[in-house]
Structure 1
């Protein structure tokens, strides 16, 4: 039996189910600068599948007929940590004010802007994609 130390295992993407593929593609391209890398139909899950990418990061958008908005999509950040599961797609920047100003110009939905998250200076701006998925943009303190 092999070990992981010898296996070729690379992180590929985060998968996000959407209710309107064209709307989501337009949003991720316009707001976050992602471009389509790969598109297919997955017979395994009966869904359109589009992998988008930017600077080495990949997100897999999936659309299945009849998809509906997650009832937890409007949950408030913080209390949402009481249940297990993936909670946000997280990016990082060294110019949180500049990115936040840019996001304001994109007319996105904000949960908060340039908020301090910890005593050591971790800060973030939190937005949502068209289906309510949390997108967190972090700015680490200078010593991190």
Structure 2
């Protein structure tokens, strides 16, 4: 049995970014900047897949938004919680915030689709769950008040 410290890739692999395929790249870039405070770090086009991309940074992560020019698009699975856990795959971008009440005010002012707000998870943590403009889940943890 191998431990992570003895694995040949231990310390060699690092997270570069999370990639999210989107239909409307300018609209989604604007939303992540305006609503969550992300900043565009880099933009480009990757010809082998005929896709434009934008690399955004914020909340301690790099988020790559990718839009294919040739794609036949399929909508994101919008199965609502708790049944969303019955669909395999990545569930949500999970962030954290020190003030979910202030975050909720900001999100409501921006017209963001909230699935729940400041929902208690345990004695010390709460969760606000929302969707980006293309239906992807974003879960934001914060302290329970």
Quickly name the TM-score band, shorter chain normalised: 0.7 to 0.9
1:79-98 aligned at under 5 Å gives the runs 79-98=83-102
Query: 1:31 maps to what in 2?
Result: 35
Report whether the alignment pairs 1:120 with 2:123. Answer: yes
Match of 1:19 in 2: 23
TM-score scaled by length of structure 1: 0.85
1:56-112 Cα distance to aligned partner (Å, 9 max, x none): 31110000124535251x210221111221010111012111111111111111111
- The equivalent residue for 1:3 is 8
- Equivalents in 2 of 1:132, 1:91: separation in Å? 17
Is the contact between residue 49 and residue 61 of structure 1 (CA under 8 Å) also seen in structure 2?
A: yes
Distance 1:104 1:67, change over 3 A: farther
- Alpha-carbon shift at residue 11 of structure 1 (Å): 0.9
Contact 1:19/1:67 (CA < 8 Å) preserved in 2?
no
Matched residue pairs, number? 138
Gaps of 5+ in 2: 1-6
Using the alignment, how far apart are the partners of 1:71 and 1:3 within structure 2? 36
Alignment check: 8 A CA contact 1:36 1:52 kept? yes
Contact 1:69 1:131 in 2 (8 A): no
- Counterpart of 2:58 in structure 1 is 54
Give the superposition deviation at 1:123: 1.1
CA RMSD in angstroms comes to: 2.0
In structure 1, the residue matched to 2:47 is 43
Q: Report Cα offsets for 1:92-143 as digits up to 9, x if no partner.
A: 01211111111111111111111113x434311111111100011111569x
In 1, the alpha carbon distance for the partners of 2:82 and 2:60 equals 29
